[in-house]
């Protein structure tokens, strides 16, 4: 079966039009993604600047936009310093339902998984978690991990003592947790 030249021309025009349309859609998508990436980077920069200047409400607004979007991406692309700044700012800006500390704790927990060598952030997290009984199990595990690397960490020792005392585990409240130390 032979194809007429006019049909060949029409098919070629159709394929060319489809290729041009596909190229335009791809360019438009990449252009829009570039704009969105630029906006996110700008939000991060404004949030970090607001955090450094002490404007914690603005820092929370801008950094939450950045973090919420970055949460959906594969790990490793989130700026840990922005996450730490968000956690610290979130702890300083109260909300109506008083969940701001819990949000701050969750952000700090995330930060500590990204940057496990930051002892100061771990201590800050331990101090924040001691006020909430819901975090007692995580707190004991985290404090034990801190004490493995630094047996004299005062924040971790205090956190373990407070949690064990609240759970009425008085023997474990003492350093070492042995029964002979209790006598």
Instruction: Verify that 128 and 153 share a domain, yes or no.
Output: yes
Count: domains in the chain: 2
Whether 62 and 127 map to the same domain: the answer is no
Please determine, for residue 180, whether its predicted confidence score (pLDDT) is greater than 80.
Answer: no
Tell me if 174 is assigned to some domain: yes
Range of the domain at 36: 22-100
Does residue 124 sit within a domain? yes
Of 118, 70, 105, 64, nearest to 86 by C-alpha is 64
Question: How remote is the C-alpha of 72 from its chain's centroid?
Answer: 11
Would residue 11 count as lying in a domain?
no
Confidence of residue 147 (pLDDT cuts 50, 70, 90): confident
Whether residues 27 and 95 fall in one domain: yes
In a domain, 15, yes or no: no
The answer to whether position 60 is within a domain reads yes
Find all residues with CB under 8 Å of 47, minimum gap 6, and list them.
58, 59, 60, 61, 62, 63, 65, 66, 82, 85, 86
Distance (Å, whole) CA 183 – CA 29 = 71
> What's the CA gap between 182 and 40, in Å, rounded?
55
Query: Per-residue pLDDT tens for 64-113?
Result: 988 888 877 766 678 889 999 999 999 898 888 878 888 888 899 889 88
Is there a domain that residue 6 lies in?
Answer: no
DSSP 3-state of 47: helix
Residue 60, pLDDT score: 93
Q: Does residue 122 share a domain with residue 152?
A: yes
Q: Please enumerate in sequence order all residues whose Cβ is within 8 A of that of 114, keeping only pairs 6 or more positions apart, or say none.
A: 75, 78, 80, 83
* Residue 170 confidence (pLDDT): 55
**pLDDT at residue 179, as a whole number:** 45
């Amino acid at each position: 079966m032979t194809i007429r030249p006019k049909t060949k021309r029409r098919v070629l025009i159709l394929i060319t039009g489809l290729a041009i349309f596909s190229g335009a859609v791809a360019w438009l998508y990449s252009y829009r993604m570039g704009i969105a990436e630029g906006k996110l980077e700008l939000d991060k920069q404004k949030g970090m600047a607001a955090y450094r200047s002490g404007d914690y409400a603005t820092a929370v607004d801008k950094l939450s936009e950045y973090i919420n979007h970055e949460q959906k991406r594969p790990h490793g692309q989130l700026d840990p310093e922005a996450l730490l700044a968000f956690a610290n700012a979130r702890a300083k800006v109260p909300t109506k339902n008083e969940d701001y500390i819990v949000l701050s704790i969750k952000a700090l927990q995330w930060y500590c998984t990204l940057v496990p060598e930051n002892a100061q952030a771990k201590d800050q997290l331990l101090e924040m978690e001691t006020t909430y009984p819901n975090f007692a199990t995580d707190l004991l595990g985290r404090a034990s991990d801190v004490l493995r690397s630094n047996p004299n960490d005062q924040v971790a020792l205090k956190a373990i003592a407070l949690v064990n005392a609240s759970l009425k585990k008085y023997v474990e409240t003492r350093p070492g947790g042995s029964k002979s130390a209790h006598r």
